Amino acid sequence: MTDTQRPEARSPRGFIDRRARDLTAERKILTAVSAVYERYGFEPLETPAFEYADALGKFLPDADRPNEGVFALQDDDEQWIALRYDLTAPLARFAAQNWETLPKPFRRYAFGTVWRNEKPGPGRYREFTQCDADTVGSARPEADAEIIAMAAEGLVAAGVPEGAAVLKINNRKLLNGLMAAAGVADEGQKLAVLRAVDKLDRLGPDGVRLLLGEGRLDESGAFTKGAGLNAGAAERVLAFTAAGAGRAETLGRLADVIGGSAEGDEGLAELAAIDAALTSLGLGADRAIFDPAVVRGLEYYTGAVFEAELLLGTTDDKGQPVRLGSVGGGGRYDDLVARFTGERTPATGFSFGISRLAAALRAAGREAAADLRGPVVVIVFDQTRMADYFAVAGELRGAGVPAEVYLGASGMKAQMKYADRRLSPAAVIIGGDEFAAGTATVKDLDLGRALSKGVTDNAAWRAERPGQVTIPRAELVATIRKILDAQSLDSAL
RNA sequence: GCCGCCCUAGCUCAGUUGGUUAGAGCGCCAGAUUGUGGCUCUGGAGGUCUCCGGUUCGAUCCCGGGGGGCGGUACCA
C-alpha cells in the first residue's frame, strides 16, 4: 500500500471520540435523571435511530437536498429514511402508531443518541445524547408543571448545585396574543418577531429593537432584515420581554402589556395554573421563573415553552469565561401527533442535552475524581508465573476490586509507569522473593503521588519506597481494600 | 449558507524578505537507577512545513482551487 492510498486516521467533522472521563460522567447523569423520571411515573421507551423521513416532519428530503438538517439515505426500497434529530418526533410517531392500546395519558421517558446535519461549533456536535420525558394526552397545565418540576429535580440529581440552575418558562400563546394586539398578522412577520426576541440575551434590547424594525447590520458587515414593525409595536414587544419578575408579579405585568387578546388571556390562565402547580410541587421562584423572552424553536410548540439554564460560572481550556446557557428545553406541542392521526392530541415534554450538561459540569469543576480511577495492576515479574498473576487478579475481582494483569511486554519500570498513568490506586508485585516467602508486595500509588510533590532527590525517593508494604499473601485483598477506602486520589492530584 | 481570519513535530508555537541539513518548549521512548511510577540529568525517535495545481532555475514561503479549524452572521426541531 502506498502513502496516497492510506486513509487518514481522523473522525468526521462534527463527530468526536469520547473516552472514559466523558462517558462515566454522562452515564452517571443519565442514570440519575432516568431515576427521577421513573419516580414520577414515566416508563422507559426505546425507538430506532432511523425513522422514515416523512415521519420526522419538518425536513423532508427531496431529490435536490436530501440531507438538509438531517442525515438521510434512501433504503433499497427507494424510501427515504433519516437519523432522528430529537426524541420527540419519534415519540409522536410511536404514540400515533400505538394510540389505541396505550394507557392514556401516556407518560414515557427516553434517552439516546440524536444526529443533526448542521454546522458544528464549539461544544456543538452533529451527534449527541438527549434524555427526554413527555406526557402525551393531557392538556392540563399541571402536566407542564410536572415536567418542569421533574426537569428541576433532574438537574439536582445530575449534580447541579441548587441555585445554580433555573427553569425559564413562557407561553407561545402570550407571544401570539401580543402580536395580535400589536397588529402583526402576517406569518412571516410573526416568525421574524419570534427570531428577534430569541436573540435578546445575545444582542440586548437595542439589537432586538433594530431586528423588530428595519433590520440590523452586524460587525461582520452582514445585514439581517428586520420584522418591519413600526416603532410603537416594537416597543410593545420589548416591554413584553422585559416583564419578567417574580412569577405572580410577572403575570400581572403581562396582563397589562397583552391587554385582553383572547389567545393572550388563555396563555396567562395556563401560566397561572402552572404557577399554582409548581408552588404545590415545592418549586419556588429560585428554581422556576416566568421569562417572556424565552422562545425556543419556531416550528411545533403551541403553548408553554421551557428552558433550563445553568448559572454556574465556568471557564474553557484557555481560561476564558464560557456562557453555558441552555442545557435543555421543551414545551407543549399539541399538534405533533395530529400529523399522523388527524386528531389533535395534547402533549408536553422536556429534553436534557446530556453531553452539554456533562461538559458544563466538568467545566464547572463538578466532576468526581473517582470517575477517573484505573484498576489495581498486577505486575508481571516472572513470565512463567502468569497463572499465579491471573489468580491474584481473579481474587481481587471476586472481591469487587477492579484489577488487571499487565499484558504488555515491557519490564517492571514500564509497568509501574503504566499503573501510574492509569491512575491505579495500587500495584501488586510478586517476584521471586515473594513467591519464596508466600508474601505479596503492595504499593500504594496514591500515597506516592501525594508524597512526590515534595520529593526532589530521586535516589532517596527510590530508597524510601513510599507506601510499599510486603504482607502475607493471604492478606492481599484486605490490604488493597484499606488503600481503596482511604480514597487518597483527591489529595494526590 | 454568507463574510473574515488561520493551518509548520503527538500538543502549543518560533522561523524562512523564495535558496539546498526546518527549530524550541511540553509530551513520547531509552539510559543514569540488574525488582519499582511521579523529581533531575543525558541521549533518541518523530515533519510529504494541510492537500492539489500554477509561477519560478528553485516554493513550507508567492498565486489559484480543495480540505480542515476558528470567529461573526443566518438557521437551530
Give the ipTM of the model, two decimals please: 0.82
Q: For residue A406, say whether its CB is under 7 Å from any atom of strand B.
A: no
- Comparing C-alpha atoms, which of A85, A98, A95, A14 is closest to residue A56? A85
Q: For residue A350, say whether its CB is under 7 Å from any atom of strand B.
A: no
SS (H, E, C) chain A: CCHHHCCCCCCCCCCCCCCHHHHHHHHHHHHHHHHHHHHCCCEECCCCCEEEHHHHCCCCCCCCCCCCECCEEECCCCCEEEECCCCHHHHHHHHHHHHHHCCCCEEEEEEEEEECECCCECCECCEEEEEEEEEECCCCHHHHHHHHHHHHHHHHHHCCCCCCEEEEEEEHHHHHHHHHHCCCCCHHHHHHHHHHHHCHHHHHHHHHHHHHCCEEECCCCCEEECCCCCHHHHHHHHHHHCCCCCHHHHHHHHHHHHCCCHHHHHHHHHHHHHHHHHHHCCCCCCCEEECCCCCCCCCCCCCEEEEEEECCCEECCCCCEECCEEEEEEEECCCCCHHHHCCCCCEEEEEEEHHHHHHHHHHCCCCCHHHHCCCEEEECCCHHHHHHHHHHHHHHHHCCCCEEECCCCCCHHHHHHHHHHCCCCEEEECCHHHHHHCEEEEEEHHHHHHHHCCCCCHHHHHHHCCCEEEEEHHHHHHHHHHHHHHCCHHHHC
CA of A188, C1' of B49: distance in angstroms: 51
Nucleotides of B under 7 A from a protein CB: 1-4, 28-33, 35-40, 48, 67-77
Nucleotide minimizing C1' to CA distance for residue A455: B39
Average pLDDT value for residue range A407-426: 91
Average pLDDT value for residue range A285-298: 87
Residue A314 · residue A322 · CB < 8 Å: yes
Nucleotide minimizing C1' to CA distance for residue A198: B76
A120-166 pLDDT, tens digit each: 877 788 889 999 999 999 999 999 999 999 999 999 999 988 788 89
In terms of Cβ atoms closer than 10 Å to its own Cβ (0-12, 13-18, 19+), residue A192 is buried
CA of A317, C1' of B15: distance in angstroms: 27
Q: For residue A225, say whether its CB is under 7 Å from any atom of strand B.
A: no
Q: For residue A433, say whether its CB is under 7 Å from any atom of strand B.
A: yes
A483/A375 Cα distance (integer angstroms): 13
Q: Beta-carbon neighbour count of residue A375 at 10 Å?
A: 19
Average pLDDT value for residue range A305-328: 69
Q: For residue A59, say whether its CB is under 7 Å from any atom of strand B.
A: yes
Nucleotide minimizing C1' to CA distance for residue A89: B77
In terms of Cβ atoms closer than 10 Å to its own Cβ (0-12, 13-18, 19+), residue A256 is exposed
Average pLDDT value for residue range A161-183: 87
Question: Phi/psi of residue A463, each to 5°?
Answer: -65, -35
A61-112 pLDDT, tens digit each: 444 444 567 888 888 898 888 999 999 999 999 999 999 999 999 999 999 9
Amino acid, single-letter form, for residue A5? Q
Q: For residue A70, say whether its CB is under 7 Å from any atom of strand B.
A: yes
CA of A103, C1' of B62: distance in angstroms: 72
CA of A302, C1' of B21: distance in angstroms: 71
Nucleotide minimizing C1' to CA distance for residue A467: B36
- The whole-number pLDDT of residue A321 equals 47
CA of A128, C1' of B27: distance in angstroms: 30
A392 vs A11, higher pLDDT: A392
Chain A 89-128, CB < 7 Å to strand B: 89, 116-122
Residue A179 · residue A190 · CB < 8 Å: yes
- The whole-number pLDDT of residue A61 equals 46
Per residue in A22-34, is it b (16+ CB within 10 Å) or e — as a string? bebbbebbbebbb
CA of A219, C1' of B72: distance in angstroms: 7
All cell numbers assigned to A106: 401516556
- The whole-number pLDDT of residue A185 equals 79
Residue A87 · residue A114 · CB < 8 Å: yes
Chain A 280-299, CB < 7 Å to strand B: 296-299
In terms of Cβ atoms closer than 10 Å to its own Cβ (0-12, 13-18, 19+), residue A114 is buried
- Comparing C-alpha atoms, which of A378, A404, A371 is closest to residue A493? A371
Q: State the nearest residue by CA to the C1' of B2.
A: A222
Q: Is the confidence at residue A414, as pLDDT, over 60?
A: yes
Chain A 299-328, CB < 7 Å to strand B: 299-300
A171/A351 Cα distance (integer angstroms): 17
A204-232 pLDDT, tens digit each: 888 899 888 888 877 666 778 888 888 88
A82/A150 Cα distance (integer angstroms): 30
Kindly report the average pLDDT of chain A as a whole number: 86
Residue A106 · residue A97 · CB < 8 Å: no
Q: For residue A84, say whether its CB is under 7 Å from any atom of strand B.
A: no
- The whole-number pLDDT of residue A143 equals 97
A140/A149 Cα distance (integer angstroms): 15
Tracing cell 491512575 back to the chain, one arrives at A423
Q: Is the confidence at residue A406, as pLDDT, over 90?
A: yes
Chain A 371-400, CB < 7 Å to strand B: 381
Q: Beta-carbon neighbour count of residue A113 at 10 Å?
A: 14
A210/A226 Cα distance (integer angstroms): 7
Q: State the nearest residue by CA to the C1' of B71.
A: A220
Apex A85 CA angle, A84 and A87, nearest 5 = 75
- Domains of chain A in sequence order: 20-363 (3.30.930.10), 374-492 (3.40.50.800)
Average pLDDT value for residue range A330-356: 93
A46/A489 Cα distance (integer angstroms): 38
Nucleotide minimizing C1' to CA distance for residue A415: B37
